[in-house]
Structure 1
Amino acid sequence: MSLLSGRHGRRIIFWLSLLLLAVAAFGCAAAKTAPVVPAIAAKPVIPPLIPRQVLFGNPDRAGVQLSADGQKISFLAPVDGVLNVWVGPADDFTTAKPVTSDKKRGIRNYFWAYTNEHVLYLQDKDGDENWRVHVVDLRDGSDRDLTPYPGVRADIQAVSPKFPTSILIALNNRVPEYHDLYRVDLLTGELSLAMQNPGFADFVTDDDYRIRFADRITPDGGLEYLKLADDGQWQPYLQIGADDAMTTHLVGFDKTTAGIYLLDSRQRDTAALYWQNVASGERKLLAEDPRADISDALVHPTEKTVQAVAANFERKHWRTLDQAIAPDLEYLRGLDDGDVEVTDRTVDDARWIVAYVKDDGPVRYYLYDHRARRAKFLFTNLQALEHLPLVKMHPVSIPARDGLSLVSYLTLPQESDPDGDARPAAPLPLVLYVHGGPWSRTSWGLNSMHQWLANRGYAVLDVNFRGSTGFGKNFINAGNKEWGGKMQTDLMDAVAWAVQAGIADPAKVAIMGGSYGGYATLAGMTLTPEAFACGVDIVGPSNLETLLESIPPYWKPMLDVFYTRVGDPRTDEGVLFLASRSPLTHADQIRRPLLIGQGANDPRVKQAESDQIVKAMKLSNIPVTYVLYSDEGHGFARPENRLSFFAVTELFLAGCLGGRAEPIGKDFAGSSIAVPEGAAQVPGLIEGLNPPGGGN
């Protein structure tokens, strides 16, 4: 028990406080007093500009993996400025060499085959998302395109240790809307049909490459799982209503394959992890969290037991289920700062790759010896970040007008918040950054957009508006048919909170985002035209009806989800509703500067979505700046294009919010940037497009 606890302790504290006040007031009364000179507040030290090249260029290394036997390490790293796969001895990554030779877009997705001698990777053409599966044979360096079919999208369905030299892939080469399953021999490239798709959205397979389940969307936007019986017939297995369809799904089999793991939100709000007997339906609750869905799991590589789970409310928190790895997780938590992520484990579980995610520093990678319980530091993902003036990301919960709590993330310029209390000394220009999806979420960690904008002098607020995932089904479903409605007022409520808290200057608030975030930007500029000083829309849809009409063919099996959650164009009422929530309908209301960025090959949000709102603004004599990339899709994958677009954005924001800006310099070099409209609206853009001497 504390000596200052209880009634008598509180009395002692009270008298001590009075004594301290007396000393402060009278202790120097007898001394000769000097003239009082007002203190001069120290001028905040403004940090140097962090180069865009560091924040938006390539990482040094990323996507770190181990071969199944743990003898080799691999990662993505640039070769002549383009990300490729590198492989080397696990005990000496410094001798790794590139094993792929992509020359343009860079590789972002790759996997090890269980042969330990083959690396698989996916690549598309100029952002069209028609992925092709390649296999690299490390023994001779050959690179084989396993799916050389123009206009066809390939996905890797399964890789299994039981069949090291083959994989399962999904191809929509027969019917664009549906993917058939094929087994592919990695040594010969031979494809053999495993299942012709009769009309399902997806399949669930096991490590024996048996097709066990399939799912399809029901007319009400729900989800139905069917089980493949021994006689080859599909039998109903799970019926999931629309309210639970985004938070309930099968996730994998146990070692026996007689049991399956599933995330399930039925009869509850947040998605919990269950084990279920496939035949009897008997089930067991493994893990739950009252505030957030179970989002991640550590599964033993051969026993297939779930050893730990994570839920992410404001930050990700792991809970140990298998006490056998409790000492490992305890050791790793104390090894370095940041949130721990076990990103890879070898088949024998002897070696792990462990990453530490921070909000104000690069990702730190370790090679962990599980048996010795000892970790060896490898590298950070970007060494140039290690000594830069990066700032903290502060989780905050913001009340919406109807009482929903919006988990959000606030980042402030270093000079504005010297005491780190997430409150600036004076209101700042604010960028409201809206995440895409919308059925995704923003999370804590190092965010290049936040660091860049804060370094330029802006507060950055990133909001998980209703409809975002991870916070239970009720939060997701609160966003149904609320594009441009309550999802938008959540953003407005967040801005109002920032103004009331003294964080934001209400006259200097910009809205910016990509995909759904681009839509929210356009909605903000049209539905609340006086609320924002300017907006930056990246690949955002402007017309919800044409968006739904033009989705990729392989999304059509999921159209009923869009009709349930966005709006239904099959009825007259639905068409009117979608029009009322479409920024294009209200384009003549735009009053403030708008910058639009678009990839010409975007399969999700077609170029026409940007073209049509630019055209409408021109017809109304409203200025707009439109930046187009001929070799990009849904977002900007090539670092040259990222650098050029954010150079334009930086000048644009400086013009409307007054922040700092790094000169364009050579940030247009190698980019496919074109500005078909409004270059004169951004100070310095015309000069950047036409530098002296014709080069950049």
Structure 2
Amino acid sequence: MTSWLAALGVLVIAAPGAAQQQRYLDQLPPLIDRELFFGDPEISGAQISPNGEFISFRKQHLGVMNIWVKRIDEPFEAARPMTADTTRPVSGYFWSQDSRYMLYVQDKGGNENFHVYAVDPRDPPEGATGVPAALDLTPYGEVQARIYAVPEATPDEILVGINDRDAQVHDVYRVELATGERTLVLRNDENVAGWQTDLEGNVRLGVRVDEEGNSLILRVDDDALTEVYRCSNEESCGPVRFHKDGRRVYMITNKGDGVDLTRLVLFDPATSALEFVESDPERQVDFGGAAFSDVTDELVATVYVGDRVRIYPKTDEVAHDLAVLREKLPEGELSFGSSTEDENLTIVYVSRDVDPGSAYLYNRATEDVELLYRSRPSL
């Protein structure tokens, strides 16, 4: 009896507290569904075709993130799906240099056999899928194909790595986008993990990691691969893009005594001459990234990511673009996406604490900025 009365007393005493707590909870705003934060964005990955005819993006179709496209003057409601994968999102894609094809890499249902596909956005949809037919450029069964280069010099061809001869390494092929016909460019007999082309699409360098974890940069000669640069497993180094002079290559490296943060350098594979270009002016973070003009092939900006994203323009034109965008766009982290071949139209992204990402179209000639979409408008 005593224990029962004691328990009743606890309930009586606790009841007012529980009621007060419930009143407090009732006054709180509703919880935001975590799917809005961690699920797929409504739209993402906007790109503009090099000729400025199309804007493409990723959006759900058949319950999975697929590629969509619309003409630049159409509303997003008029967009059409280009892919119809129902099991795995299409994570990334490219435009061919002549704007004829959209290129993407995808496997089948998560089997890790990645093939390269080309789809023409002007083709009509097929009845069975509701999207245009895609051409498999690498129809070789159990392979993991990868795109190495989409050269401006050869807009109807791309360079692709295919491991159908030996599953452990990728040989380099030149593949015609219209037919899928391939031509062997370089047979990989030395366990090279990646290749670097010059601006004309010629394979000039390879990167290999040895048994000790050292990174080796190899020059592609007529009949052999020659080591021209090496960094230890406690350092990092790798090519970024060839200079417009065709001789030197931009590299990111922190090789050297007393060097901690990575920096941008110019390296000559023929002479091993190395020229410092830039490191973080604030000496806080590694080198973040480099932007190049597709018109002049010049370095036009460098980027560092610390507490905030810092962009350092290298030309008066880009400095002016940044000033215009920072005046017209909301304050936040600014980044540049794809541009038209004349660089007049550019996709620009802004993210901030109250907006995980919005895409804008910037017209350099008129200085107009048009909102394309907010990636998570429900937030």
State the TM-score, normalizing by the size of structure 1.
0.47
Output one character per residue of 1:275-298: Cα deviation in whole Å (capped at 9) or x when no partner.
Answer: 233433443322211111111222
Which residue number in structure 2 is paired with residue 257 of structure 1?
246
Which residue number in structure 2 is paired with residue 186 of structure 1?
177
For the 8 Å contact 2:199–2:244, the answer to whether it is kept is no
Which residue number in structure 1 is paired with residue 73 of structure 2?
91
Amino acid at match of 2:39: G
Which residue number in structure 2 is paired with residue 625 of structure 1?
none
State the TM-score, normalizing by the size of structure 2.
0.85
2:193 & 2:271 partners in 1: Cα distance? 25
For the 8 Å contact 1:58–1:81, the answer to whether it is kept is no
For the 8 Å contact 1:352–1:368, the answer to whether it is kept is yes
1:128 & 1:104 partners in 2: Cα distance? 11
1:304 & 1:138 partners in 2: Cα distance? 28
Output one character per residue of 1:102-127: Cα deviation in whole Å (capped at 9) or x when no partner.
Answer: 22222111111112121111111333
Give the one of 249, 255, 262 matched to 1:266.
255
Which residue number in structure 1 is paired with residue 129 of structure 2?
none
Output one character per residue of 1:115-173: Cα deviation in whole Å (capped at 9) or x when no partner.
Answer: 21211111113333321111102232321112223321111111011111111111111
2:59 & 2:147 partners in 1: Cα distance? 22
For the 8 Å contact 1:307–1:320, the answer to whether it is kept is yes
Paired residues for 1:551-562 under 5 Å = none
2:112 & 2:302 partners in 1: Cα distance? 32
1:306 & 1:46 partners in 2: Cα distance? 52
Which residue number in structure 1 is paired with residue 86 of structure 2?
103
1:93 & 1:258 partners in 2: Cα distance? 45
Paired residues for 1:215-226 under 5 Å = 215-226=207-218
Give aligned pairs, total: 341
1:332 counterpart SS class: helix
Amino acid at match of 1:92: E
Give the one of 195, 199, 202 matched to 2:194.
202
1:52: Cα distance to partner? 3.6
Instruction: Go from structure 1 to structure 2 and tell me whether the alpha carbon gap of 1:184 and 1:368 turns closer, same or farther (over 3 Å shift).
Output: same
Amino acid at match of 1:66: I
Which residue number in structure 2 is paired with residue 663 of structure 1?
none
Amino acid at match of 1:69: N
Give the one of 355, 358, 364 matched to 1:364.
358
Paired residues for 1:51-70 under 5 Å = 51-70=33-52
Tell me if 1:113 matches 2:106. Answer: no
Instruction: Go from structure 1 to structure 2 and tell me whether the alpha carbon gap of 1:93 and 1:205 turns closer, same or farther (over 3 Å shift).
Output: farther
Give the one of 280, 288, 292 matched to 1:299.
292
For the 8 Å contact 1:274–1:285, the answer to whether it is kept is yes
Give the one of 195, 200, 203 matched to 1:211.
203
For the 8 Å contact 2:82–2:119, the answer to whether it is kept is yes
Which residue number in structure 2 is paired with residue 376 of structure 1?
370
Paired residues for 1:57-456 under 5 Å = 57-94=39-76, 95-140=78-123, 141-199=132-190, 200-229=192-221, 231-244=222-235, 247-267=236-256, 268-289=259-280, 290-334=283-327, 335-385=329-379
Instruction: Go from structure 1 to structure 2 and tell me whether the alpha carbon gap of 1:139 and 1:234 turns closer, same or farther (over 3 Å shift).
Output: same
2:72 & 2:272 partners in 1: Cα distance? 43
Amino acid at match of 2:50: A
1:173 counterpart SS class: coil
Which residue number in structure 2 is paired with residue 396 of structure 1?
none
For the 8 Å contact 1:169–1:181, the answer to whether it is kept is yes
Which residue number in structure 2 is paired with residue 564 of structure 1?
none
1:63 & 1:55 partners in 2: Cα distance? 17
For the 8 Å contact 2:49–2:339, the answer to whether it is kept is no
For the 8 Å contact 1:213–1:225, the answer to whether it is kept is yes
- Structure 2 segments unaligned to the other structure (5+ residues): 1-23, 124-131
1:175 counterpart SS class: coil
- Structure 1 segments unaligned to the other structure (5+ residues): 1-42, 386-696
Amino acid at match of 1:315: R
For the 8 Å contact 2:46–2:347, the answer to whether it is kept is yes
1:361: Cα distance to partner? 1.8
- Asked which structure has the greater CA Rg, the reply is 1
1:283 & 1:331 partners in 2: Cα distance? 36
Q: Which has the higher helix share?
A: 1
Output one character per residue of 1:398-432: Cα deviation in whole Å (capped at 9) or x when no partner.
Answer: xxxxxxxxxxxxxxxxxxxxxxxxxxxxxxxxxxx
1:174 counterpart SS class: coil
1:93: Cα distance to partner? 4.1
For the 8 Å contact 2:219–2:269, the answer to whether it is kept is no
For the 8 Å contact 2:359–2:373, the answer to whether it is kept is yes
Instruction: Go from structure 1 to structure 2 and tell me whether the alpha carbon gap of 1:313 and 1:362 turns closer, same or farther (over 3 Å shift).
Output: closer
2:208 & 2:99 partners in 1: Cα distance? 35
1:330 counterpart SS class: helix
1:354: Cα distance to partner? 0.1
For the 8 Å contact 1:362–1:383, the answer to whether it is kept is no
Which residue number in structure 1 is paired with residue 127 of structure 2?
none
1:80: Cα distance to partner? 2.8
2:295 & 2:363 partners in 1: Cα distance? 17
For the 8 Å contact 1:226–1:235, the answer to whether it is kept is yes
1:378 & 1:78 partners in 2: Cα distance? 17
Instruction: Go from structure 1 to structure 2 and tell me whether the alpha carbon gap of 1:382 and 1:220 turns closer, same or farther (over 3 Å shift).
Output: same
Amino acid at match of 1:356: V
